[in-house]
Amino acid sequence: MRYVAPWRFRLAAFVAARGRCLLTQAPTGIGKTMGTLFPLLKAAPAQGIDKVFFLAAKTSGRQTALDALTRLSHSAPALPLRVLELVARDKACEHPDKACHGESCPLARGFYDRLPAARAAAVATMREGSPAPALLQTRVREVALQHDVCPYYLSQELARWADVVVGDYNYYFDLGGLLHGLAQANQWRTALLVDEAHNLVERGRKMFTAELHPAALTQARSSPTAAQHAPVKKALDKVRRAWVALDKAHPAPYTVPETFPDKLLAALQQCTTTLTEHFTDHPTEPDSALQTFYFDALHLQRMADLLDAHSMVDITQSSSAHPHRASKPGDSVVCIRNVVPAPFLQPRLAAAHTSTLFSATLQPARYYADLLGLPDDHVWVDVESPFAAHQLQVQVARHISTRYPHRAASLAPIAALMAQQFRARPGNYLAFFSSYDYLQQAAALFAQQHPDVPHWCQSRRMLEGEQREFLARFTDTSQGIAFAVLGGAFAEGIDLPGKRLIGAFLATLGLPQVNPVNEQIRERMQALFGAGYDYTYLYPGLQKVVQAAGRVIRAPSDEGTVHLMDDRFAQAQVRALLPGWWTVG
């Protein structure tokens, strides 16, 4: 932690500890994680709080919380915190090719026989007073493998013994969220800390969206199980016939029915019933393709039962995604698309004794309150910035337009501006673009016109090791410009203080693409909130811009430059959504 605005965070703890919901915006780099954890943990005993759940959107957020908790434990060794990290199943699974039951996986076979000893060993580790080993999933894995049990399910069992649980949003907010289920079953008095809460809008939408892809059905119908078991094949074929009939009734590239098609839903319900019986009767026959379709179908049925104004049904023909390929009936993607996650998130927030949602970009507050389902009596705190305007030079390139029709014409002035800034102040810069195609075009022209300036580019689907290599090029002595995609892995959650990063270029407003899906969302937002364009395009776009620009100033001694490369940044409506401490030139 480099800086914390103390009285504001004490206010946050005061409000949160009294059973309220707090939405707080605070600048990047000032220690929001420590600034929310410390006062809440200090207030927890007096408020009778049983568990603190720290929920993050990304691995970097989890790690920041674990680091902060380790420092707190070191500072008070007489009162060690029992901290548990939960990770995704695919990252914790030791046998990803096997089904999660004793007939298939050796770590599931006899799991409950060996669980008491494994659990006792893990809990003893928590109580040893050594903060670091007990905190991480690596330690849980060591204990689990010593006792031949599954690390993923052991970590879930340990949630009952932890004071603080650090995990992904899904562990609490998902319809089957483990932490919410345990809290309800055990009547725990819980406190939520929701890190980078601006991400909860899109993550919430994904949790409560269900899609059926034709490839999943094709693979299930082609599976060995379908070939060997007539009832399974018959049920899947019935789904296929209903799907074909649906596409014949809705041949347009994109349609939005008012309700989910009854015949397809009935076929799916009959199919999942058949598959449930099959899996029960044949536990030793794992079939990943069949299981994937089964769980997709179950999720879609659940969302169909909960369908309301917060979501919409849409059907996208394959020709929409692949213009050069003709659509055939049954090749569409059928989706129940959540637009407003508030009705699903609201009960989860209400179930907690207190919740604090924090981020550097929660403006306008009304937008997040509406979409996240915050209670009417929630408290809004906007933590003032400790940074001075002179630390960050913000310039608007009014002569550049990055609107889609103007992309080609924008490349030359963008390259010229970047080179001019680099030569005036050599160092490390990040340049953000709205897409990989735009990035590649800009990087190619820049390399051609300014070959003496070092540069490197983010690529599609970078692995974690490649991401680390990308960031490792930012050092206190290096110089160059890194090209990245706005909203991607390097636009938030990374920390490059001092000379590691001295500036950023943003060749985009970050506005979502105008397409049939987003236009339908805009219409729904207009009907619900009366601000369709702002809620669909403007607010999400500017949130990404401010997050990316926030990589530049991370400490009170930092100084840097941000170039907003689009004439629309000069508009009053857009300027109003930029941080108040910026002086925009």
User: Phi and psi (nearest 5°) for 107?
Assistant: -80, -15
Average pLDDT over residues 407-411: 97
Question: What would the mean pLDDT of 341-349 be, rounded to a whole number?
Answer: 98
List Cα–Cα distances, 109 to 120, 126, 138, 139, 171, in angstroms. 19, 26, 22, 22, 25
pTM of the model: 0.91
Please state, in angstroms and rounded to a whole number, the distance separating the CA atoms of residues 242 and 230. 18
pLDDT of residue 8 exceeding 70, the answer is no
DSSP, collapsed to helix, strand or coil, labels residue 475 as coil
Q: Report d(CA 244, CA 156) in Å as an integer.
A: 42
Region 450-460 average pLDDT:
96
Q: Average pLDDT in the 484-500 region?
A: 91
Give the mean model confidence (pLDDT) for residues 298-311: 97
pLDDT at 135: 55
Q: How confident is the model at residue 323 (pLDDT cuts 50, 70, 90)?
A: low
Q: How confident is the model at residue 3 (pLDDT cuts 50, 70, 90)?
A: very low
Q: What is the dihedral of CA 345, 23, 9, 171, to 10 degrees?
A: 20
Q: Give the Cβ contact number of residue 378 at 10 Å.
A: 19
* Of 33-37, 98-102, 397-401, 580-584, the least confident: 98-102
Residue range 186-193: mean pLDDT, rounded: 96
* Predicted local distance difference test score (pLDDT) of residue 499: 95
d(CA 231, CA 218): 16
Task: Please calculate the CA angle 344-348-350 and round it to the nearest 5 degrees.
Answer: 115
Band (pLDDT 50/70/90 cuts) for residue 5 is very low
338 confidence band (pLDDT: 50, 70, 90) = very high
**Position 6 pLDDT exceeds 60:** no
Which H helix or E strand runs over 389?
none
Average pLDDT along the chain? 90
C-alpha span between 65 and 57 (Å, rounded)? 12
Q: Give Rg (Cα) of the chain.
A: 26
Percent of the chain predicted with pLDDT > 90: 69
For each of the domains in the chain, give its residue range(s) and CATH number, in order of start: 6-202+342-382 (3.40.50.300), 210-338 (1.10.275), 389-575 (3.40.50.300)
